[in-house]
Amino acid sequence: MQSVNTDNWTFCRYEKENFLAQITFGADPKSIAEDRLEYYVTVLQNEDTEIFQKEFSTLTEACLYLNANYSDWSFMDQTGEKTGCSTCAAH
């Protein structure tokens, strides 16, 4: 079974109907001062409406949480061949 891990997290996610679950990263003033990133499991509806987000201090923790909670959704590898009316990034 495929899963999101520390090697593929930037281009793999889970999808179900019009929802997607993925890992993103960011920082806040405290983490910036400590020169570290934070990782977020983020669930979006229609690719633009955030409906859930949970913060993690390590990428490994975020991967474990994402896989434990969303692995029953379809696994999507975004590096696969694009399909649609053209080969632009929108497809």
| 89: alpha, beta or left? (left if phi > 0; alpha if psi -120 to 50) | alpha
Indicate the domain borders of the chain. 12-77
Considering just the CA atoms, what is the radius of gyration of the chain in Å? 14
pLDDT by residue (tens digit) across 34-91? 999 999 999 999 999 999 999 999 999 999 999 999 999 999 999 866 666 655 555 4
Residue 91 is classified by DSSP as: -
Structure tokens of 32? 């910036």
pTM (predicted TM-score)? 0.82
Looking at residue 88, its pLDDT comes to 58
How many CB atoms are located within 10 Å of the residue 7 CB?
9
Q: CB neighbours of 63 closer than 8 A, spacing ≥ 6?
A: 3, 4, 5, 6, 9, 23
Answer whether residue 24 shows pLDDT above 50. Answer: yes
